[in-house]
Amino acid sequence: MRQKTNFTKAAILAWARDEGPDKLDSFALEEILEPLFSSLRLAPGILEDLTGVKTRRLYPHGSPPSRGAIKAAQNLFLTTGYRPEDMDLIYSTSVGRDYLEPSTASIIHSQLELPERAANLDLGSACLGFIDGIYLAALQVEMGLIDRALVVAGENARPLLENTLATLLSPGIGLKDFFRHFASLTLGSGGAAMVVGSSEENPRAPRLRGFVSMTDPASNDLCRGDITGMETDPALLMTRGVLLAKKTFEKGRELYGWDPLGFDLIVCHQVSYANTLRFAETLSLAWDKIPLSYPQYGNMGPVAIPFTFSLAFDQGRILAGSQVALMGIGSGLTCAMLELTIP
């Protein structure tokens, strides 16, 4: 990104979330993996100790990824006064998709009964799809092409998690194999939805102020996955990810004058304790300004940032006059950061 985006009116008008109804705690996972833990002599509690993830949520068997997105959008329409017919565009930003075709956005479009004039599009950028969806929708609002966009994401980690457990319980799995699949054991399920539109509709809505994004595509091999499983190089992924985050934040400092101390709340992508701490230390971010959802919900991919934003709002942590940052690193590698001002 070579120059700053001058937002004049784009805002997040409404938001809502949904969480998988089934809870699975880390000790229960370790009980399932007991044969592997015994053979590798892994200490009980290592999963929670290394990640900080106590529980994760799952949707019932057979639930498509769109379920969380649909439920979150329905919650939004029920609680905010916005209606499906008010939407001009829908972006589905999930990693998981119901099918390779049609687009998951078209399925969600149909289930929510959005108007035929509304465009729909799957927008994928690993765990950063939702931030990119907000940004691209905001640009169209700024240009006067649309009045409102619905940005959604839904993830169901159950199939990938169950496939990973089967892999780890197969013969010949060693310690290196365990840690290459380790990240899959942190995944959780949920949904998020936001309406992006003009602040003229709601002068008290969070306003977009700045957006920056940078990439390290040479590191695309550090995290690769599909429904059958996900493999990562945890140490190298963290090292290169936070390095990219530092470069991205410096770009934000150059374009918008960002200062770590200037943010009242930093909503990060929720991976684990170690990743979040390294991210905060590298960017000199105050730990007490970072709301956490991964301990109770796990890593929900692109759902994580909007879900945590919604959670923080309900907890009274997003106040009038605040400067709020949405920040994340996604496999690829891509880093995106979005600044909001709360009138």
Would residue 101 show up in a list of annotated catalytic residues for this protein? yes
**3-state SS assignment for residue 6:** coil
First to last CA, the chain: 27
CA 301 to chain centre: 4
Quickly list H helices, the chain: 26-32, 34-40, 46-51, 66-80, 104-112, 129-142, 158-168, 175-180, 234-256, 273-283, 294-297, 304-314
Active-site choice (127, 223, 268, 335): 127
d(CA 210, CA 323): 11
Neighbours of 57 (CB within 10 A): 24
**What is the Cα–Cα distance from 251 to 211, expressed in whole angstroms?**
10
Cα distance between residue 237 and residue 10, in whole Å? 33
Of the candidates 191, 91, 76, 192, the one whose C-alpha atom is nearest the C-alpha of residue 141 is: 91
The reply to whether 30 belongs to the active site is no
Catalytic residues: 101, 127
